[in-house]
Structure 1
Amino acid sequence: MADQADVENALAALVANAIYPNGTGAASVTGQVCKVYRGYPNPSALDADLAAGIVHVSVMAGDRLVRNVTRYPRQWQVVKPVSQVLSVMVQGVSATFSGTCAVGQLAGVLVNEQTFSYAVQASDSPATVASNLAAMIRAAGWIVNYAGAGLTVPGADRFAARVVAGGGALQEIRRQVQDFKVTMWCPSPMVRDEIAPVIDEALTAVKFMPLADGSAGHMVFAGTATQDGGAETSLFRRELVWAVEYPTTLAQMAPAMLFGTVTAMADAVVLGDFQS
């Protein structure tokens, strides 16, 4: 089911795709080094990066309480399968993505017992899929080597990567609207004014944002604010707020199984530990 974390991950991916359309292994569209992540920045790391001219973009839930807007009947809705046009090749602890990207596909990486899944966005390329998965794996504490459309997790004892296409059915059991803040922490007002329109345009272009469970979040612009740190600091901040309406769902065979385990017994086969 969709969760606040799924919405934050999807928003962070849209922001990263806008800033790094060829993945983080290439230069950003504005020329600045940018770090995109969920949550509030670490103050000491932020200060050091701002002094070095590095931009931070954080994505987190807003301060307003979640509003319950449940209004649809509980009915199973078939999720039409899409053609799988993205593929991945695995060699040891490395994965390389290729092909084309289409909404409805789910890319995933298994590192030891941890799974990382990414709902492919319309703005993606194989390089940005690899880049966004690398960011998730790195956020979990793993060392990740990333270049082009490939990633490597040298410390992994067990490694797998797959791409699946969505299908099955979803039943919506709740619907909510929640504010999410996309905040740019910049070293100068010029840098802020250069990067803010790139992110604003990319998010404004999206009306329904695909989520990892096969559903989508409806995005509505909810406001913006600018804050200058003053002469004594090097922090220049811009905040974009989006109200996202997204469902909580039950799933049947959706979106697809990325990873699972099979235990063979004398007279039966037990399936378990599925991750999607």
Structure 2
Amino acid sequence: MADASQMSQALAYVCAGILYPDGLEKPSITGRQAVIRRGWLLPSDIFTAQNIRNHTDFVTVTMSARKGATVPEPLGRPWQVQARILPTVSVLQKGRSVQIVFPESLAPSGVVGLWYEGALQTTAAYAVTAQYTAESVAAALADQLPNGTVEGALVSVPGVSVLGNVVGYGESVRVSRRQSQLYRVSVWTADASVRDIIGLVLDTALAEKSWISTLDGRQAQLKFVGVEDVDAMQNQAVYRRDYLYELIFDTLQTQWAADMMFGVGTIDAGGQDVGFGAIAPASEEDVVTRALEAMAAAAVSVSARSEYPGMALNQFGTVVSSTD
């Protein structure tokens, strides 16, 4: 989920993309070195060899001291599915048995479920991870079914028909708070004409953006507030210009869960409740643990996809190439 510091980071990435349209390894729009940072200037930015007075320009993104306003969130805080991980494992019906089928080139993933109707509707489920095989998954499922047998990747139960299904995972999100925060984008340089060039490029590009991507894959609304020159350090040959922007963004709650595999419920039949559907599988601790591990792996794979590829922050908050 996005917080105020992550929004500073996202805005710094946007500014870096504007000043380095061909990538951070290529020259900036001025041909000079431009350092984009989430946070204020460091002492080394002014007093070391590679500093403002030696043809290095800086753009900093900081939160303003103004108190952020709370914006009403959607009524009811409804949950919505934001990301899906589709299963790569499948099941193949073979007569009254079910065969577990693993993909040839993709990593195996998903939750495999089996059920059959006997005296009671009986079910089994198994969360697949990369270290398992079709045969080991079939064996684990057969162990959960009364009288279950396994032959390779084929699961059977004598005297009944076994059916199968495979589902994936979904990430559900809801807005727990919507807020407004003021941010300051500051240009620092020893050349007043360069300040005008960088400021004009940033201002023009950001004026076209009503929304920017957040680090969690959603959007934040961007509003221009004002601009001012700050020449208090002019006697040190440092020229500064501040652009103020308001960002409206959401704080989210997220929850990963497997898709529904078994349906169950009751109906009113002449004043008597009659159950239908499958009975949920027994929640054995190792089955639950594997499911949680599989969902955690799915969450990592999704969160690793960056909205700003090729960019990262170093320990000082400076935007650098993620390949560095």
TM-score (norm 1): 0.60
User: What is aligned with 1:204?
Assistant: 207
Partner-residue secondary structure (3-state), 2:236? coil
Larger CA Rg, structure 1 vs 2 = 2
Q: How many residues align?
A: 182
User: What is aligned with 1:46?
Assistant: 46
CA contact (8 A) 1:15 1:36 kept: yes
* Alpha-carbon distance, 1:174 to partner: 0.6
CA contact (8 A) 2:172 2:255 kept: yes
User: What is aligned with 1:62?
Assistant: 64
Q: Deviations over 1:176-220 (max 9, x none)?
A: 100011101111111101110111122111111111223211111
Q: Among residues 72, 76, 80, which one is paired with 2:74 in the alignment?
A: 72
User: What is aligned with 2:248?
Assistant: 245
Q: Distance in 1 between matches of 2:189 and 2:230?
A: 11
Q: Compared with structure 1, are the counterparts of its residues 253 and 210 closer, same or farther at alpha carbon in structure 2 (3 Å cutoff)?
A: farther
Greater mean deviation of Cα atoms: 225-234 or 31-40: 225-234
* Alpha-carbon distance, 1:44 to partner: 3.5
Task: Tell me, yes or no, if structure 1 residue 224 matches structure 2 residue 227.
Answer: yes
Q: Which amino acid aligns with 1:62?
A: S
* Alpha-carbon distance, 1:230 to partner: 6.1
Task: Tell me, yes or no, if structure 1 residue 18 matches structure 2 residue 18.
Answer: yes
Partner-residue secondary structure (3-state), 1:190? helix
Q: Distance in 2 between matches of 1:13 and 1:224?
A: 20
Superposed, 1:170-189 pairs within 5 Å as: 170-189=173-192
Q: Distance in 2 between matches of 1:14 and 1:220?
A: 14
CA contact (8 A) 2:73 2:176 kept: no
Q: Distance in 2 between matches of 1:230 and 1:80?
A: 48
Q: State the percentage of identical aligned residues.
A: 28
Q: Which amino acid aligns with 1:14?
A: V
Q: Deviations over 1:236-275 (max 9, x none)?
A: 0000010001011112349xxxxxxxxxx98763615864
Partner-residue secondary structure (3-state), 2:28? coil
Superposed, 1:142-161 pairs within 5 Å as: none
- Deviation beyond 4 Å, 4+ runs, structure 1: 265-268, 272-275
* Alpha-carbon distance, 1:231 to partner: 5.6
Q: Compared with structure 1, are the counterparts of its residues 27 and 242 closer, same or farther at alpha carbon in structure 2 (3 Å cutoff)?
A: same
* Alpha-carbon distance, 1:227 to partner: 1.7
5+ residue gaps, structure 1: 82-166, 255-264
CA contact (8 A) 2:64 2:184 kept: yes
CA contact (8 A) 2:73 2:175 kept: no
Q: Which amino acid aligns with 1:26?
A: K
Tell me how large the CA RMSD over aligned residues is: 2.6
Q: Distance in 1 between matches of 2:179 and 2:286?
A: 47
Partner-residue secondary structure (3-state), 2:181? strand
Q: Compared with structure 1, are the counterparts of its residues 240 and 47 closer, same or farther at alpha carbon in structure 2 (3 Å cutoff)?
A: farther
Q: Which amino acid aligns with 2:19?
A: I
Q: Distance in 2 between matches of 1:208 and 1:230?
A: 33
TM-score (norm 2): 0.51
Q: Compared with structure 1, are the counterparts of its residues 79 and 24 closer, same or farther at alpha carbon in structure 2 (3 Å cutoff)?
A: same
